[in-house]
Structure 1
């Protein structure tokens, strides 16, 4: 029995039915955790799991905040004395996504190596590096581009947090409640992108008023608050994880399952589709402030008293809130069908954006992009929901006689790998927009590329998972 003063108190009430007794060891390690044991779960497991989920959501929320900081800051760099060209600007926007997507792969296995509570502490504290680094970089207009790019890349540490957070929470909940818990964890993280885009412009403008007497971000001193304002919350997240979260001794990573999943063609098909859904969400979240600044500079911010408000936050907010509905619609009508519809809407909306740009109507532009974010959010939920269904149907279609446990292992591993691959869309979208602007002076060619990609993804989703003659559709469609 642990003598750790911070260990949760053991219940003194006798269980209603026999259950495995939890053992709380030093360092907040829990032995014999089994959420499928109903008696254990009802007696103390549910309370412990919810407490860990709450702090996991908070830490992941801050990860998404840090992941998106540079997409907000770049629009204010010219006013702060920086003179980067279009290509350099889009590199600053896209580098966090490139690093974050790559880190999601190793982050998936950190929980089994270090413990969920321990890694949450470490991953939260690592966010201090990009936030403080951002503040130091923007405070000096003489900061070289290569250093700015390196610090922007470090913001990808926040993107990696999603993988470790999801891997940790999946061990805490029984199968019957796992979907809801993971959905809350994902939605809470995604909201970080919206809250960052809402809060940072307000904080920067108010800081400018205090320091210069003008509601603008002239000078790096006010822009530095974009990073510094999150430092106290990061410290709270780390301390909260240290005091309130737990490590599970039986939380073991499944490297063999991940290697097996990589050999499955369906992993790569769904990952391709997820690049279009989640990649669009995170990619357009990153570029939306700049698109508004470039197309409608007078609408880039709205003065509310001494504060400046950017409506760019509405995009990721709508995308985050619509994601759970994608899962619900997938449960009712089928994930493949909802994903195909989502891609059709995304392609149609993007074409409408191209057609209406000459009208120079900001409110129409905003409404269309909110529709695009909503469709991408619904597609996120439906595509992610497809993964366990597809692996189960693929096994039946192949008549391999795979045991359910084997299918579940592949599906579980695929969830983490697909989330990592899909995040690369956040790098591709800014890069295509930057290349289009540099080569033609217009973003329109890039938008046509997006339309073509959505049409291709629609065809792939239909051909593989909806077409009557496809093996997976025949197995259970």
Structure 2
């Protein structure tokens, strides 16, 4: 039993598959499998295993892994884990820069003083629209991985980041119209799509038992692009540099990310789009319930990341430099703790961690209402940082719940073994793109809520009251759907089909 590579293939030169068990993995220059070859079983959001296909013309220039079976422990321990981790590293890099470009307008607005002629309401509207585009493009980005290949799409999506960066570099000066800034900001929203394609790709590389850690690390590494660009902005402002200096730093970094993806990442040939899975996921109530919960965690993280600096400037009178000193701390800690949320969910159950997390988020928001009313900057910043941390923790725990929920549904249907795993992967993968897109819309709502609150009340207090009520609702939904045990008498039939999955959801 052996793994084969064409001569001269980069992976063959490094010996990455020289000792694989028979037939488990074959990498090649996008060469379709031989007749009768068996396709892999891993799926990604909106994807399904590819059926056996006959070979067609060879296309050189790309690296494809033909068969992939991470649930096979022998394969995983001998070779699969190394390949998966390598792809994870460079996927994180591209996603990281994507997050930075997506959120760069949260920083650029700090540079835009009175000479730009924009009101605080204009700036909140600008950042809201950037967030909106980032949420919407997550849906097509989810399916792009199966169409083009994970490695290939990472190269393309990284390269596309040059468009909004160069455009912002060109127009970033006083005298530019608000509509022009709005248009360029909308283009920057494509950076938000990198998250969806990266999560889709990495979800396909790792086994179910490792998904909480892998997806948490992947997302956390991407999320950390938010504080990184804020830190770089702090250095630029501190050195009396302008916004074009900040943008100029990122242009070569984008090129480097695309090149590294081309050199070190792989495509999984077994990942194919499954429109039937997408339709089934869209019809499943759990997809929309989890999307609602993800609004509360990731929507909060990205919304606060865009708004925090503006709130400090408008409500507390901070200068751009003073605001920049404070804005990066919360997103940094929230990003770093996201993998911890996934790890805790792996160990104790995502539903439990998510429930307790919403208790913390509600408590922190209640204190923020008090700090906002008292105009206490120290308390406000300290508790806001705590809220960022909790949103990051919840990001990890909610995303871990998704594969667990659909695995529990598979078991409840009487499926076992690989059949149950395949069912769970198919629907959980398809639902992730929708959940990620809807969750990001929470960032739009947060910025619009702040905009209206400042217009109506002159402060962010009204917005925080609304957020407090929403977190309370998220707590109630988590408990009622995933942790509340059935009460009362049920028939034997309903006990087998309903009680068992209801109990198992506590462990997802």
| TM-score of the pair, normalised by structure 2 | 0.83
Partner of 1:172: 205
Q: Which whole-Å CA distance do the structure 2 matches of 1:170 and 1:39 have between them?
A: 19
Asked if residue 90 in structure 1 is aligned to residue 124 in structure 2, the reply is yes
8 Å Cα contact 2:410-2:423 kept in structure 1? no
Kindly tell me: are residues 467 and 46 of structure 1, through their superposed partners in 2, closer, same or farther at Cα, counting changes over 3 Å?
A: closer
Asked if residue 223 in structure 1 is aligned to residue 240 in structure 2, the reply is no
Q: Report the CA distance between 1:180 and its aligned residue.
A: 2.9
Q: Report the CA distance between 1:316 and its aligned residue.
A: 0.6
Asked if residue 203 in structure 1 is aligned to residue 236 in structure 2, the reply is yes
> Which of residues 430, 433, 438 in structure 2 aligns to 1:416?
433
Aligned counterparts, 1:275-286, within 5 A: 275-286=295-306
Partner of 2:284: 264
> Which of residues 48, 51, 62 in structure 1 aligns to 2:86?
51
Residue-by-residue CA offset, 1:416-443 (whole Å, 9 max, x unaligned): 2211110111111001110121133232
> Which of residues 63, 66, 69 in structure 1 aligns to 2:101?
66
> Which of residues 459, 469, 472 in structure 1 aligns to 2:486?
469
Q: Which whole-Å CA distance do the structure 2 matches of 1:475 and 1:172 have between them?
A: 25
8 Å Cα contact 2:128-2:448 kept in structure 1? yes
Q: Which whole-Å CA distance do the structure 2 matches of 1:207 and 1:348 have between them?
A: 39
Kindly tell me: are residues 332 and 118 of structure 1, through their superposed partners in 2, closer, same or farther at Cα, counting changes over 3 Å?
A: closer
The aligned length equals 456
Q: Report the CA distance between 1:290 and its aligned residue.
A: 0.8
| TM-score of the pair, normalised by structure 1 | 0.88
Aligned counterparts, 1:132-143, within 5 A: 132-139=166-173, 141-143=174-176
**Residue aligned with 2:64, SS:** strand
Q: Which whole-Å CA distance do the structure 1 matches of 2:222 and 2:113 have between them?
A: 30
> Which of residues 129, 142, 158 in structure 1 aligns to 2:191?
158
Q: Which whole-Å CA distance do the structure 1 matches of 2:64 and 2:169 have between them?
A: 39
Q: Which whole-Å CA distance do the structure 1 matches of 2:153 and 2:16 have between them?
A: 31
Kindly tell me: are residues 340 and 20 of structure 1, through their superposed partners in 2, closer, same or farther at Cα, counting changes over 3 Å?
A: closer
Q: Report the CA distance between 1:10 and its aligned residue.
A: 6.4
Asked if residue 360 in structure 1 is aligned to residue 395 in structure 2, the reply is no
Q: Which shows bigger deviation, 435-444 or 85-94?
A: 435-444
Q: Report the aligned-residue RMSD.
A: 2.5
Gaps (5+ residues) in structure 1? 209-221, 303-307
Q: Which shows bigger deviation, 11-20 or 253-262?
A: 11-20
Q: Report the CA distance between 1:32 and its aligned residue.
A: 2.4
8 Å Cα contact 1:35-1:173 kept in structure 2? no
Partner of 1:319: 334
Asked if residue 232 in structure 1 is aligned to residue 267 in structure 2, the reply is no
Q: Which whole-Å CA distance do the structure 1 matches of 2:261 and 2:63 have between them?
A: 13
Q: Which whole-Å CA distance do the structure 2 matches of 1:100 and 1:309 have between them?
A: 23
Q: Which shows bigger deviation, 409-418 or 64-73?
A: 409-418
**Residue aligned with 1:15, SS:** coil
Partner of 1:386: 401
8 Å Cα contact 2:20-2:79 kept in structure 1? no
Q: Report the CA distance between 1:340 and its aligned residue.
A: 2.0
Aligned counterparts, 1:302-317, within 5 A: 302=322, 310-317=325-332
Q: Report the CA distance between 1:21 and its aligned residue.
A: 5.4
Q: Which whole-Å CA distance do the structure 1 matches of 2:218 and 2:18 have between them?
A: 32
Q: Report the CA distance between 1:44 and its aligned residue.
A: 4.7
**Residue aligned with 1:230, SS:** helix
Q: Which shows bigger deviation, 255-264 or 317-326?
A: 317-326
Asked if residue 24 in structure 1 is aligned to residue 28 in structure 2, the reply is yes
Q: Report the CA distance between 1:22 and its aligned residue.
A: 1.9
> Which of residues 446, 449, 465 in structure 2 aligns to 1:429?
446
**Residue aligned with 1:252, SS:** strand
Partner of 2:50: none
8 Å Cα contact 1:15-1:39 kept in structure 2? no
**Residue aligned with 1:160, SS:** helix
